């Protein structure tokens, strides 16, 4: 049956379609259906996987169709004779998934759509006619519509189905017949039910409000996140969720966006019923009707509080050191770049700090203690710098501090000296007292150090030199310093060669005792190195190089061996003579050192109680317990222990209490200018009374003049070492010195 495009049939068609639309709209008045429409319009919410499920739902199709029809109606009013549009409308009518037919008072079909033809194609014409007649008979002024269900065998599908027929009476005694295949209806219903379940159980919170923002629907996820039930929030506005974190401008902007664009989305802190605040990603969309009036607002949200924490954690991982929580490499580089690019009268200074001997602590005491030490170190570092200074962990035991200084030279000195001092104070790690020192390299922003990379590299170089110069000090980068480092590297190369060629010597400096009369009581073995082209290289230059390169172990053994061997020649002259050898921290950390010393002394035929081991306080820095254990082992076989350079290190009297030392050597820095320094005199006097009380012998080093000797006599000093008596001598000259002293009973001065 073909439709004829006349004006009256147009009206029938439009009315028919409006009717269908109205039925569908009625079905969609539930918020869930409106949500389906919303989801359908928001393909970006793909994660819900709802679109695929609802795309085919006829309800949606009906609804869209209804909208189109309303538009069509308006169009008809304004342009009724537009034949192209009319054609489109017939197309629409023919594609409608509901059988539609216009029927006259004689039960004759005037016009029908494609679905009608398909639904009735296996149905005899008489049967249709009979159904229509039955329906027309049922219609009355009280009930202008009637329905009947027709059992129908679909030959094509070879299945039985039921068709629901619905007849509506029009004012002009015409009728509209609608037919829906029940199987088809079931499919739609199932899909609608699935969609509803999905929305209700969706993992994201959904709420629907009236245009005045009063809530009319919330899903399960909403209830779980907020703690409010549907009943509790129905009629309330979303402001019950306000956390108080955002100001009014935030909500005004949201409102403005909804009014202007019908949409708002972003992060928002809300509050649960329990009062707990949470962060959500919220998307609000206004639903509008054909006249543009807002019918509803739909809000969909996902709680992202956990993600925010993860984000924060990731940010921390990316920018902060996991162990110490200080800024990490990447972060400090950014911060330095920021500082040097900000114009300022002040100059940017960078401190590169390295913990001396940290590796040894880590290796001997374990990484756990090492890590805790680093954490404690970082805390101390942070507490001892200004808030504006930027501390960071560069890696391992290396730290960087950046700051701006108006007066770089004095500011750097102040900061560095303070850091050197505070880091010397003991750390308590797992009930262990650990003492450390740091070496600091400094670089200031200048033409030669004008980038982040150059600043760090040069400060690192300066730090390296500070290490090589004996640690526990700071060096400021300069071209001269660079030259010095190059020299140091050269020394290292030569030293390796010298050790291989065994070209190092040992000299001995006499130690004098005045009780009961002047006498050489001992000799100190000191390393000597004469290089064929560089000439005499003092220990002050090569010992720090040997220490920083690890060559000290080998060098120390060479010197100790030579000293022990040569000493036997002097002990023949005076059997009361004692030999002192220097033993520094790195040497003592050698696990075989105790065995080596005992074995070497025995091999040289020296009695252990004739040997004094001169240690410095830095021996106690890293692992006091291990150092004490080794020293006690040496003491137990007869070696004496002498504390060298007293007054230059930590001078922590607790070491004296803890370890039974035999001798203490006051550093020569206290002797220099002692004649004019009442302070130095007072210090030396105090040390004497302490060592007297403890029964420790006290030697004063570096006596160069008669005046110094006289002052020291007055202070009741009895043991000396210094150029006034003798410089360090090679063994043959020492033998002469000892022989002449023994024969004359006088001390030959200034040899």
H or E stretch at 638 = none
- The site that binds Mg ion (CB under 5 A) totals a number of residues, namely 5
| Residues 6 or more apart whose Cβ sits within 8 Å of residue 464 | 441, 485
Residue whose tokens read 């317990």: 625
Nearer to ligand C2E, 181 or 645 (CB): 645
Does 225 contact ligand C2E by CB under 6 A? no
Q: Which CA distances in Å does 705 have to 241, 700, 749?
A: 88, 13, 10
Looking at residues 616 to 675 of the shown chain, list those that interact with Mg ion (rule: CB under 5 A): 644-645
Nearer to ligand C2E, 28 or 537 (CB): 537
Given a contact cutoff of 8 angstroms between Cβ atoms, the answer to whether 106 and 137 are in contact is: no
For ligand C2E, the binding residue among 527, 577, 729, 738 (CB under 6 A) is 527
Identify what 527 binds: ligand C2E, Mg ion, none; CB under 5 to 8 Å per kind. ligand C2E
Nearer to ligand C2E, 181 or 701 (CB): 701
Beta-strand pair 205-209/215-218: antiparallel
Does 582 contact Mg ion by CB under 5 A? yes
For Mg ion, the binding residue among 303, 354, 460, 614 (CB under 5 A) is 614
Task: Report how far residue 736's alpha carbon sits from residue 697's, in angstroms, rounded to the nearest whole number.
Answer: 27
Structure tokens at 696: 């420790």
Give the chain's count of helices (H) and strands (E): 27, 26
Shortest reach from residue 689's CB to ligand C2E, in Å: 23
Binding part of the chain for ligand C2E, among 230-238, 404-412, 627-635, 715-723 by CB under 6 A, reads 715-723
Shortest reach from residue 592's CB to ligand C2E, in Å: 16
Nearer to ligand C2E, 136 or 555 (CB): 555
Task: Report how far residue 545's alpha carbon sits from residue 228's, in angstroms, rounded to the nearest whole number.
Answer: 73
Nearer to ligand C2E, 408 or 647 (CB): 647
| Residues 6 or more apart whose Cβ sits within 8 Å of residue 617 | 643, 645, 646, 649, 650, 651, 652, 655
Nearer to Mg ion, 443 or 666 (CB): 666
Shortest reach from residue 559's CB to ligand C2E, in Å: 4
Query: For 167, which DSSP code?
Result: E
For ligand C2E, the binding residue among 704, 718, 740, 751 (CB under 6 A) is 704
Alpha-carbon torsion 400, 406, 409, 414, what sign? Answer: negative
Task: Report how far residue 544's alpha carbon sits from residue 495's, in angstroms, rounded to the nearest whole number.
Answer: 12
- The site that binds ligand C2E (CB under 6 A) totals a number of residues, namely 23
The two most distant CA atoms of the chain are separated, in Å, by 159
Nearer to Mg ion, 181 or 645 (CB): 645
Given a contact cutoff of 8 angstroms between Cβ atoms, the answer to whether 511 and 549 are in contact is: no
Given a contact cutoff of 8 angstroms between Cβ atoms, the answer to whether 13 and 90 are in contact is: yes
Shortest reach from residue 721's CB to ligand C2E, in Å: 6
Shortest reach from residue 420's CB to ligand C2E, in Å: 20
Nearer to Mg ion, 321 or 701 (CB): 701
Identify what 526 binds: Mg ion, ligand C2E, none; CB under 5 to 8 Å per kind. ligand C2E
Does 538 contact ligand C2E by CB under 6 A? yes
Identify what 93 binds: ligand C2E, Mg ion, none; CB under 5 to 8 Å per kind. none
Does 336 contact ligand C2E by CB under 6 A? no
Alpha-carbon torsion 731, 736, 739, 741, what sign? Answer: negative
Nearer to ligand C2E, 391 or 649 (CB): 649
Which residues lie across from 349 on neighbouring strands? 403, 444
Shortest reach from residue 702's CB to Mg ion, in Å: 8
Structure tokens at 438: 């740091």
DSSP three-state, residue 287 = strand
Does 577 contact ligand C2E by CB under 6 A? no
Nearer to Mg ion, 475 or 701 (CB): 701
Does 540 contact ligand C2E by CB under 6 A? yes
Does 593 contact ligand C2E by CB under 6 A? no
Given a contact cutoff of 8 angstroms between Cβ atoms, the answer to whether 440 and 419 are in contact is: yes
The 3-class secondary structure across 599-615, one letter per residue, is: HHHHHHCCCHHHEEEEE
Write out the residues near Mg ion by the rule CB under 5 A. Answer: 582, 614, 644-645, 701
Write out the residues near ligand C2E by the rule CB under 6 A. Answer: 509, 526-527, 538-540, 543, 556, 559, 582, 584, 614, 644-645, 668, 701-704, 721-723, 728
């Amino acid at each position: 049956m073909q439709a004829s495009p006349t004006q009256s049939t147009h009206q029938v068609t439009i009315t028919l379609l409006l009717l269908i639309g109205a039925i569908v709209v009625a079905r969609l008045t539930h918020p869930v259906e409106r949500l389906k429409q919303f989801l359908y319009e928001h393909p970006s919410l793909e994660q819900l996987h709802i679109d695929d499920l609802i795309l085919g739902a006829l309800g949606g199709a009906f609804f869209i169709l209804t909208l189109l029809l309303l538009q069509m109606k308006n169009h008809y009013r304004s342009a009724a004779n537009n034949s192209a549009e009319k054609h489109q409308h017939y197309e629409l009518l023919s594609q409608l998934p509901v059988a539609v037919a216009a029927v006259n008072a004689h039960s004759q079909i005037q016009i029908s759509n494609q679905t009608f033809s398909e639904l009735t194609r296996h149905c005899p014409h008489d049967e249709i006619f009979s159904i229509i007649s039955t329906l027309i008979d049922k219609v009355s002024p009280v009930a202008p519509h009637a329905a009947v269900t027709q059992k129908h065998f679909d030959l094509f599908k070879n299945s039985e189905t039921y068709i629901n027929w619905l007849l509506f009476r029009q004012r002009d005694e015409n009728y509209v017949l609608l037919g829906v295949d029940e199987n088809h209806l079931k499919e739609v219903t199932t899909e609608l039910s699935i969609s509803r379940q999905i929305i209700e159980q969706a993992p994201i919170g959904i709420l629907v409000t009236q245009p005045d923002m009063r809530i009319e629907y919330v899903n399960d996820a909403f209830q779980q996140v907020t703690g409010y039930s549907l009943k509790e929030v129905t009629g309330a506005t979303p402001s019950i969720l306000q956390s108080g974190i955002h100001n009014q401008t935030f909500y005004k902007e949201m409102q403005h966006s909804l009014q202007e664009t019908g949409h708002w989305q972003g992060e928002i802190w809300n509050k649960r019923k329990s009062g707990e605040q949470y962060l959500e990603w919220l998307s609000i969309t206004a639903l509008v009707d054909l006249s543009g009036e807002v019918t509803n607002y739909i809000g969909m949200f996902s709680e992202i509080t956990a993600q925010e924490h993860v984000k924060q954690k990731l940010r921390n991982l990316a920018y902060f050191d996991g162990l110490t929580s200080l800024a990490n490499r990447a972060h400090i580089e950014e911060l330095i770049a920021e500082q040097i690019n900000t114009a300022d009268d002040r100059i940017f200074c960078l401190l590169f700090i390295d913990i001396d001997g940290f590796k040894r602590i880590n290796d001997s005491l374990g990484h756990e203690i090492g890590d805790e030490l680093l954490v404690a170190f970082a805390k101390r570092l942070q507490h001892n710098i200004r808030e504006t200074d930027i501390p960071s962990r560069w890696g391992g035991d290396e730290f960087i501090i950046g700051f701006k200084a108006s007066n770089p030279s004095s500011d750097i000195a102040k900061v560095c000296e303070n850091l050197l001092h505070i880091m010397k104070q003991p750390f308590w790690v797992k009930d262990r007292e650990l003492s450390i020192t740091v070496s600091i390299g400094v670089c200031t922003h200048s033409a030669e150090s004008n980038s982040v990379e150059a600043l760090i590299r040069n400060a690192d170089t300066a730090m390296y030199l500070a290490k090589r110069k004996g640690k526990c000090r700071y060096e400021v980068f300069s071209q001269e310093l660079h030259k010095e480092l190059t020299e140091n590297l050269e020394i290292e190369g030569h030293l390796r060669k010298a050790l291989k060629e065994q070209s190092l010597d040992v000299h001995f400096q006499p130690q004098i005792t005045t009780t009961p009369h002047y006498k050489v009581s001992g000799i100190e073995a000191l390393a000597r190195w004469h290089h064929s082209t560089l000439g005499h290289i003092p220990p002050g230059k090569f010992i720090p190089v040997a220490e920083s390169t690890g060559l000290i172990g080998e060098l120390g053994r060479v010197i100790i061996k030579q000293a022990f061997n040569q000493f036997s020649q002097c002990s023949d002259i005076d059997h009361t003579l004692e030999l002192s050898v220097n033993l520094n921290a790195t040497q003592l950390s050698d696990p075989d050192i105790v065995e080596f010393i005992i074995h070497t002394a025995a091999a040289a035929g020296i009695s252990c109680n004739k040997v004094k081991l001169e240690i410095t306080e830095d021996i106690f820095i890293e692992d006091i317990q291990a150092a004490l254990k080794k020293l006690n082992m040496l003491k137990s076989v007869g070696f004496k222990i002498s504390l060298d350079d007293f007054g230059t290190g930590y001078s922590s009297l607790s070491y004296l209490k803890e370890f039974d030392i035999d001798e203490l050597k006051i550093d020569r820095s206290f002797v220099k200018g002692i004649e004019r320094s009442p302070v130095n005199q007072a210090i030396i006097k105090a040390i004497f009374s302490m060592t007297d009380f403890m029964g420790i012998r006290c030697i004063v080093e570096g006596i160069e003049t008669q005046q110094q000797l006289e002052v020291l006599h007055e202070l009741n000093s009895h043991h000396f070492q210094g150029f006034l008596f003798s410089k360090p001598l090679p063994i043959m000259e020492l033998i002469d010195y000892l022989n002449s002293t023994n024969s004359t009973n006088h001390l030959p001065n200034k040899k």
